[in-house]
Structure 1
């Protein structure tokens, strides 16, 4: 059973009240004590829900004035501040996800991989390489290197298919929640880049990503080549 926290429940109630017109865009909410009493929760719980909705751009808190309902900004497709799997991005574009090749092997870690994972150069790592397709065309090459102690013999015990993030969560209870990402433009002579250059207008971006679990432990490092004529990435910048 998926039990929601009190804060999440109050946030959900507030969103529903706004969508039903109880509180309209531009309107100020009643005071914190009044709202806490109306919703039957502590002021701290109500305050936490308001903070979350403020971060999401649903409420505007003007200190000394009040809390106002505002119109949320439209969502950004493939936003760079959201961690999404390649499969999710393919499906969100309305395309049919597939794989044309998969390679799984144990090898000695390079200096770059070892440095990212916090192990010694030459330590064995499991490498998973896939060519991802959309409507039958190759659109991404994803190469993942796994921390030997944190993933262990996972790929020897279970057959892998589908979503890597779901696979780790299902079999190891490892939930990937964030990544550090460097975006570069690979040279056209890069062998992985060449696997995606199937049209004259094709361009490729390279994402070097270190993925962390909820305890901020590095679980795997990936080099993901993405066709930029298929995927577009955006970020919303804010001014303090």
Structure 2
């Protein structure tokens, strides 16, 4: 048997799908809505909270509750190397960047081991927050092999696809990546940049990217919202 909260959620979704309340519109007050739906304010409030965590409603305290368009899942096969931008565009969403940080730092033991350089050797680091329809969906942090990339980012302004940028200016074509997948801690500073909803979860992809000669070109930490990106892999049995 469905709970009252679940029933109210279904009724609200129906009202939105039928156009009674359109995307961008503010719902009537909590008192008005609870009376019209025949439930207590507490039950209505619980239903709104659940729909907010699902990304269907946006509660602005002191202003009201608004209908928003939920972001669709972005499908991606784990056995295909795709850029974040490609995955966003393939879902019919508008790709964007909300921040770019480009700096040099001394490579840690982890970065040095991945790139095959000495610990402490300086590497260029590119950090971006990627957005879909204006909402942050991924944080990418890229560490570049100092000898193979050199002063590329000092000679050319960067924007858009990193893979296309490397191929255009250095004739380096990234063809494969070794990928490890984990769940970052919620106190990870990059993870926190993506926690836009109470139930948002994040996956961390640690990836070492190779060119056609199997040389390590860059190492990346890619934080992806699991409520937006949908990753799949086909497994076979011998």
How does the TM-score come out when normalised to structure 1?
0.68
Task: Within 5 Å, give how 1:133-144 maps onto structure 2.
Answer: 133-144=131-142
Aligned residues of 2:99 and 2:128 also touching (Cα < 8 A): yes
- Mapped pair 1:98 → 2:96: yes
- The CA distance in 1 between the partners of 2:179 and 2:92, in whole Å, is 25
Q: Report SS of the residue matched to 1:105.
A: strand
2:167 corresponds in structure 1 to 169
2:186 corresponds in structure 1 to 188
Q: CA deviation at 1:195?
A: 0.3
1:108 corresponds in structure 2 to 106
Select the structure with the greater relative contact order (CA < 8 A; seq sep ≥ 6): 2
Deviations 1:191-224 (A, max 9, x none): 1000000101210000000000000000000000
1:230 corresponds in structure 2 to 228
2:195 corresponds in structure 1 to 197
Q: How many pairs are equivalent?
A: 165
Instruction: Extract unaligned runs of 5+ from structure 1.
Output: 1-75
How does the TM-score come out when normalised to structure 2?
0.68
Aligned residues of 2:104 and 2:124 also touching (Cα < 8 A): yes
1:221 corresponds in structure 2 to 219
Residue of 150, 156, 159 corresponding to 1:158: 156
Task: Within 5 Å, give how 1:1-240 maps onto structure 2.
Answer: 77-240=75-238
Aligned residues of 2:75 and 2:229 also touching (Cα < 8 A): no
Q: CA deviation at 1:77?
A: 3.7
Instruction: Say if 1:77 and 1:197 are closer, same or farther in 2 by CA, change over 3 A.
Output: closer
- The CA distance in 1 between the partners of 2:237 and 2:196, in whole Å, is 40
Q: Report SS of the residue matched to 1:238.
A: coil
Instruction: Extract unaligned runs of 5+ from structure 2.
Output: 1-73
Q: CA RMSD in A?
A: 1.0
Q: CA deviation at 1:172?
A: 0.2
Could you list the structure 1 runs, at least 4 aligned residues long, displaced by more than 4 angstroms after superposition: none
